């Protein structure tokens, strides 16, 4: 690919230009308020490295205000007494508003994150809308059980026992920068369905769509304090939020490193915690498949969103017989991808999120070279403004290399051969992560033998990164715990209460 071919970022629409000029504010208790301190965060367009807006940098006092507002909204007021169909209707209204502003949101997301606008239109915005609509239906379907117990009381005593699910309370929700609006929606949807309240913190790199979402939440008519949005840095705003005693539950998506810190910070008050963390997901290719078809799937699995995907297929394991053919196909896709700025309609792969992330990815490439790996395509950054890294395919790797073990979070795939199924499964299970995996084969028996061996929260067969709000999602091992989405997502945001009533006779204690 010719680095000079990277075009300039097209101009933004009037609607987005207006939004970018908006003053830096926080959403607390249904109002856009001035942050307490003077510090501001520069919002950078990763396609140009230029500042495009300014966001508030919430401090401890802002965090305290937001948590109190969320607490009041949870304990008192209209939200507490809202009926399921009222919450459902509000959620649909919000989803409709997102749909109405879909093009503006896609543009904003592409600008803030660097992803191709075509992808924001296809994946991020419909995905966000889908989470609200899917979870809206659950508001009226949160149920419990009744039990046929053997409890004995004084003669004639009868018991009725049942469970109810109640909202867990005030939730701190911290999301990353790779799918900013989609992650915010994924987090907020179960909060709204169950009757919890939230203080949401978008990533400091990508605050824009969460703020626009905040405007639409107000327009939809949610009561004040149900959703509060604080922009700020992780180490300060995020840490203060996590440590705040007024928080009942923390829901986090991000690095394993920060997930561990959060789990520790949650301990003093035993906050409920759900963590969706890093991954190093294997793409396992069995010998019966057409190498060319699989190659395009495997390329998509790693290069989508510039590889900044928790489930990115960053380790490619191909059965020896077809390794060369698959590798050739993946390399061909890799060298043909059109790199460019987010808003350019022709762009197939955008820049990485930040200078920091580009440096991190380039350092991994350097360590791979030093440890003797061979780079087949890509391997460097084009000499052009914007945090670009070329799509990269690496071979001749060993299991103990950093590039094989650690999450790179960039457009970099390491390819390895295997001989038999057990060896392939063992190699795929190596390392600390267990978020997802894909198997490519039409050999039903081989697939059925492999699926139970894979230690991962999601296993795809002949596809990769297919994520739906109805399908539980989360990790094994150090990829986190808790399952979001589906019924499991509702359970994550509710406490189960057992009720035991002596309904006839004198009753009994103990
Ligand atoms: P990060 O884990 O530091 O950031 C994710 C979110 O956590 C952001 O909102 C950030 O402000 C917040 N945060 C950071 N430190 C915090 C703290 N001490 N307390 C509370 N909140 C905190 O991820 P970062 O530094 O942006 O990226 C580093 C690596 O993490 C990436 O290279 C990638 O490997 C991984 N990552 C994984 C993601 C995933 O989807 N699983 C998403 C983003 C990053
Ligand atoms: Mg970090």
Q: Which residues of 224-247 are buried (b: 16+ CB within 10 A; e: fewer)?
A: bbbbbbbbbebebbbbbbbbbebb
Tell me if 176 CB under 6 Å of ligand 1: yes
Tell me if 407 CB under 6 Å of ligand 1: yes
Q: Outline where DSSP puts E strands in 129-169.
A: 146-147, 158-167
- CA 68 – ligand 1 centroid, Å: 25
pLDDT of residue 1: 45
Question: Residue 153: which pLDDT band, with cuts at 50, 70 and 90?
Answer: confident
Mean pLDDT of the chain: 97
CA dihedral (464, 469, 472, 475) in degrees, to 10, reads: 60
Question: Residue 77: which pLDDT band, with cuts at 50, 70 and 90?
Answer: confident
pLDDT tens-digit series, residues 216-231: 999 999 999 999 999 9
Q: The dihedral of CA 192, 473, 315, 406: what is its sign? A: positive
pLDDT tens-digit series, residues 470-482: 999 999 999 999 9
Do residues 20 and 32 make contact, with C-beta atoms less than 8 angstroms apart? no
H helix and E strand count, the chain = 17, 22
d(CA 254, CA 480): 10
d(CA 439, CA 460): 6
d(CA 199, CA 212): 15
Question: Residue 5: which pLDDT band, with cuts at 50, 70 and 90?
Answer: confident
- CA 186 – ligand 2 centroid, Å: 21
Q: Indicate whether 85 pLDDT > 90.
A: yes
pLDDT of residue 110: 98
Which pTM does this prediction carry? 0.97
pLDDT tens-digit series, residues 325-376: 999 999 999 999 999 999 999 999 999 999 999 999 999 999 999 999 999 9
d(CA 99, CA 112): 19
Tell me if 310 CB under 6 Å of ligand 1: yes
Question: Residue 3: which pLDDT band, with cuts at 50, 70 and 90?
Answer: very low
Ligand nearest to the CA of 232: 1
Question: Residue 505: which pLDDT band, with cuts at 50, 70 and 90?
Answer: confident
Tell me if 56 CB under 6 Å of ligand 1: no
Catalytically active residues are 276, 310
pLDDT of residue 440: 98
- CA 222 – ligand 2 centroid, Å: 32
What SS3 string covers 305-370?
Answer: HHHCCCCCCCEEEEEHHHHHHHHHHHHHHHHHCCECCCCCCCCCECCCCCHHHHHHHHHHHHHHHH
Residues 6+ apart with CB under 8 A from 202: 175, 177, 180, 184, 209, 210, 211, 229, 231
Average pLDDT for 413-422 = 98
For strand 458-461 and strand 146-147, is the pairing parallel, antiparallel, or unpaired?
Answer: unpaired
Q: Indicate whether 507 pLDDT > 90.
A: no
d(CA 412, CA 408): 7
pLDDT tens-digit series, residues 316-326: 999 999 999 99
- CA 407 – ligand 2 centroid, Å: 13
State what percent of residues in the chain have pLDDT above 90.
Answer: 96
The neighbour count for residue 463, using CB atoms within 10 Å, is 12
Q: Closest by alpha carbon to 491, among 193, 246, 197?
A: 193
- Specify the ligand 1 atom closest to the Cα of 276: 41
Q: Indicate whether 2 pLDDT > 60.
A: no
**Which of 60, 176, 436 to probe ligand 1 with, by most ligand atoms within 8 A of CB?**
176
Do residues 304 and 398 make contact, with C-beta atoms less than 8 angstroms apart? no
421 by DSSP, 3-state: which? helix
């Amino acid at each position: 690919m010719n680095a000079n071919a990277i075009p300039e970022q097209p101009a933004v629409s009037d609607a987005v230009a207006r939004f970018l000029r908006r003053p830096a504010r926080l959403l607390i208790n249904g109002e856009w308020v001035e942050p307490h301190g003077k510090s501001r965060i520069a919002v950078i367009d990763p396609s140009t490295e230029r500042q495009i807006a300014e966001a508030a940098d919430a401090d401890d006092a802002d965090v305290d205000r937001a948590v109190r507002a969320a607490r009041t909204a949870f304990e008192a007021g209209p939200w507490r007494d809202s009926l399921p169909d009222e919450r459902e209707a509000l959620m649909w209204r919000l989803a409709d508003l997102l749909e109405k502003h879909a093009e503006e949101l896609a543009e904003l997301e592409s600008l803030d994150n660097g992803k191709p606008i075509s992808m924001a239109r296809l994946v991020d915005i419909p995905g966000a809308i889908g989470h609200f609509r899917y979870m809206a239906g659950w508001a009226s379907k949160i149920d419990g059980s009744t039990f046929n117990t053997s409890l004995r009381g004084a003669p004639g005593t009868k018991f009725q026992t049942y469970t109810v699910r109640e909202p867990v309370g005030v939730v701190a929700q911290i999301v990353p920068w790779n799918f900013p609006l989609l992650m915010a929606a994924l987090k907020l949807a179960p909060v709204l369905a169950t009757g919890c309240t939230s203080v949401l913190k978008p990533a400091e790199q990508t605050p824009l769509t969460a703020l626009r979402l905040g405007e639409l939440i107000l327009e939809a008519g949610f009561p004040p304090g149900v959703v509060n949005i604080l922009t700020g840095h992780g180490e300060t705003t995020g840490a203060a939020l996590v440590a705040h005693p007024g928080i009942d539950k923390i829901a986090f998506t991000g690095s394993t490193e920060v997930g561990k810190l959060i789990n520790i910070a949650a301990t003093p008050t035993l906050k409920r915690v759900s963590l969706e963390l890093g991954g190093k997901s294997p793409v396992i290719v069995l010998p019966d498949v057409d190498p060319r078809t699989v190659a395009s799937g495997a390329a998509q699995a790693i290069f989508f969103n510039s590889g900044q995907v928790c489930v990115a297929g960053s380790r490619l394991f191909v059965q020896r017989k077809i390794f060369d053919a698959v590798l050739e196909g993946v390399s061909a896709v890799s060298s043909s991808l059109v790199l460019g700025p987010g808003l350019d309609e022709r762009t197939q792969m955008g820049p990485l999120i930040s200078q920091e992330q580009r440096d991190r990815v380039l350092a991994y490439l350097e360590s791979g070279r030093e440890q003797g790996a061979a780079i087949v395509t890509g391997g460097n950054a084009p000499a052009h403004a914007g945090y670009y890294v070329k799509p990269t395919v690496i071979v001749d790797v060993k299991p103990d290399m950093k590039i094989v073990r650690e999450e790179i979070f960039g457009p970099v795939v390491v390819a390895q051969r295997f001989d038999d199924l057990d060896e392939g499964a063992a190699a795929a299970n190596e390392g600390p992560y267990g978020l997802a995996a894909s198997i490519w084969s039409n050999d039903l028996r081989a697939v059925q033998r492999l699926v139970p061996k894979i230690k991962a929260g999601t296993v795809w067969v002949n596809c990769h990164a297919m994520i739906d709000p109805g399908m539980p999602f989360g990790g094994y091992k150090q990829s986190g715990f808790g399952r979001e989405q589906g019924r499991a997502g509702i359970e994550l945001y509710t406490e189960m209460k057992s009720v035991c009533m002596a309904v006839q006779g004198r009753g009994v204690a103990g």
